Amino acid sequence: MRASAAAFVVLFLAACAGSATTPPAAPPASAAPQNRLSRYVRHVVIVIQENRTFDDLFATFPGANGRTYGYMKTSAGPQRIALKASDLVEPCDWGHGYGNFRTDYDGGAMDGFNLEGGSKACPGKAGKAPYQYVKPSQIGPYWDIAKQYVLADAMFQTQGSGSFTAHQDLIAGGTVIDKAKNEVVVDFPSHMPWGCDAPSGTKTSLLVDLQLEYDKGPSPCFTYATLRDLLDAKSVSWKYYSPPEPHGTGALWNAFDAIDAVRNGPEWTTNVTKQPTVFFDDVTNGTLPAVSWIVPDDNNSDHPGNHDLGPAWVASIVNAIGESKYWKSTAIVIVWDDWGGFYDHVPPPSFDHWGGLGFRVPMLVVSPYARTGTSSRGGYVSHTQYEFGSILKFVENVWGLGSLGTTDARATAIGDCFDFTGKPRAFTAIPSEHSREFFKRQPPSNQPVDSE
C-alpha cells in the first residue's frame, strides 16, 4: 500500500509539472495593504454550497477556464466525450471520497469520472453521466453575480475528500491531527451525527503517510485550532449558521459540532445557530457578526437531489446584504465545498501529504470593492490559484489575526478579487425567483445536506 501511495505521488507531481495552468494575475498596484483592509472590510460572509465542479457550473462562462468536453477511461484508452448540457436537478450522487478522488484523477489524466458508483437512485458505474454542465439558464443568479462581481476559476479544494472534511477545511485549513503532521482525517466518520455528538465507538478515516486507513482514526471530536480561536483572541465576533437535521444538532453540516471547545462550551448556544435563516434577522436587526459561515438547508443545496433552489438561496443572501447598511463594509465569498463526482478538466496543480490539493470548485466574491473587468457589467475572472486556506488567510489579514499555521500559511489570500482604490459601487439586486421572505417561511427539510 505504501509503495502504491508513493507511486501516486510521483504520478501526481509529474502530471502537474506537465500541465499548463494560467499564471496568477497581479492584484491592483494600489490595493489596500494588510493593515488597512479593515478600513474597507468589516464583515466577511462565507456562503457554502455543495458538490459542484467549476466546469459543471461555469464551463461556458466567457473568459473563464472552462471546457465542454472531457475524457473517459476505457480499455482502448482515453475516449473524448462532449459534456452534456443538463438540468441543475441531478438524481445521482456519485462517490466523492478520497478513493474516488484518486480514481477520477487517474495520475493526472482526469479521465476516471466514468468509473464512479452512483447512489441508490443510480446503481452501477456512472459512465457518461458525470460529464455534464448545468444549463446557464438554470443558474441565472450565479451567472449574474459572476457578470457583476468576481468569478475565480482556479479555486481548489484543500483535500481530495468529501464534504465532512471540506467543511473542516473552511474553518481550520486542514484536518491534521498529529504533531508530526503526517496523519490527516479524510472522508467521513463511521456513524452519524458527524461530530462530538457521535455515538461511542465512532471512528474517522485517515491518511497516514498517504496510506488510506478506513475507520482507524479518532472520534470526530477534534481539539485542533480553528479560525474561531484567532477570532476570539482578538474579540472579533463570529457566527455559524447551520440547518437542523434528523439528529437535532445540525451536526451533519455543522463544522463546529466536531470541534470540542465549541460543542462542549458556551459558544455552542451563542455562536452557532440551528437555522440558517437567522442570518436574515441578524442583518435586519443590525446584529450581523464580523465573520459568518452559512450552510444551506438540504432544500436549498446544490447537492444532487430533487431540488433546484440553491441559486435563489444564494441570491437572497447577497440581496439581503446589498440592500442593508452592511453593503459598503461586507465581502461575500460563495464557494462550493467539493466536486461531488462531477467532471472537471483541470488537474490539481500541486500536491501535499494531506490528500490535496483536491479538485477545482467555483468561487464567487461579491463586494462594493470587487475588482472590475472588461465586461459591460464589470465582472472580473480571477485566474489566481486559490485553496480554502485562501479564504481563511483573507479573514486573518483583515483583522490582523495571525495565522493558524495550516494551509492558510501557504495559501494566497483572495486579495486579487478586490480593488480598494475607487469608491464603493452601488448595489444592484440579483434577479431571483424567490426572495428572502420565501426562505424565511420555508419549513426546514430536517434532512442532512450530504452523506459524504
User: Would you say residue 123 lies in a domain?
Assistant: yes
pLDDT score, position 248 = 60
Q: Which residue has the cell 448545468?
A: 134
Q: How far is CA 450 from CA 298, 310, 330, 355, 447, in A?
A: 8, 14, 29, 20, 9
Across 125-269, where does the E strand assignment appear? 132-134, 150-152, 155-156, 183-186, 205-208, 211-213, 238-241
* pLDDT tens digits, one per residue of 133-147: 999 999 999 999 999
**Is residue 25 over pLDDT 50?**
no
- For residue range 64-99, list pLDDT tens digits in order: 999 999 999 999 999 999 999 999 999 998 989 999
Q: How far apart are CA 396 and CA 227, in angstroms?
A: 8
Categorize the per-residue pLDDT at 16 as very low, low, confident or very high, splitting at 50, 70 and 90: very low
**Which CATH number goes with the domain that contains 317?**
3.40.720.10
pTM confidence score: 0.92
* 195 in a structural domain: no
Alpha carbon distance 390, 122 (integer Å): 35
- Average pLDDT in the 106-130 region? 91
Q: Is residue 449 part of a domain?
A: no
- Domain for residue 181, yes or no? no
Confidence band for 35, pLDDT divided at 50, 70 and 90: low
Confidence of residue 447 (pLDDT cuts 50, 70, 90): confident
- In this model, does residue 34 exceed pLDDT 90? no
pLDDT at 249: 57
In a domain, 325, yes or no: yes
Q: How many domains does the chain have?
A: 1
Asked if residues 134 and 156 have their Cβ atoms less than 8 Å apart, the reply is no
Residue 32 lies in a domain: yes
Q: How far apart are CA 165 and CA 259, in angstroms?
A: 12
Say if 188 falls within a structural domain: no
Q: Give 134's strand partners.
A: 86
Q: Select the more confidently predicted residue: 5 or 102.
A: 102
Q: Which three cell numbers stand for residue 444?
A: 426546514
Alpha-carbon distance of 306 to 138, in angstroms, equals 14
314 φ, ψ (degrees, to nearest 5): -65, -40
Which residue has cell 426546514? 444
User: 389: domain range?
Assistant: 11-173+222-441
Q: Please name every residue paired with 382 in a beta bridge, in sequence order, or none if there are none.
A: 152
- For CA atoms 50, 237, 389, 103, give the dihedral sign: negative
DSSP output for 369-430: TBPP-SSTT--EEE---EEHHHHHHHHHHHHT----SSHHHHSPPGGGGB--SSPPPPP-PP
Domain presence at residue 425: yes
Residue type, 346: V
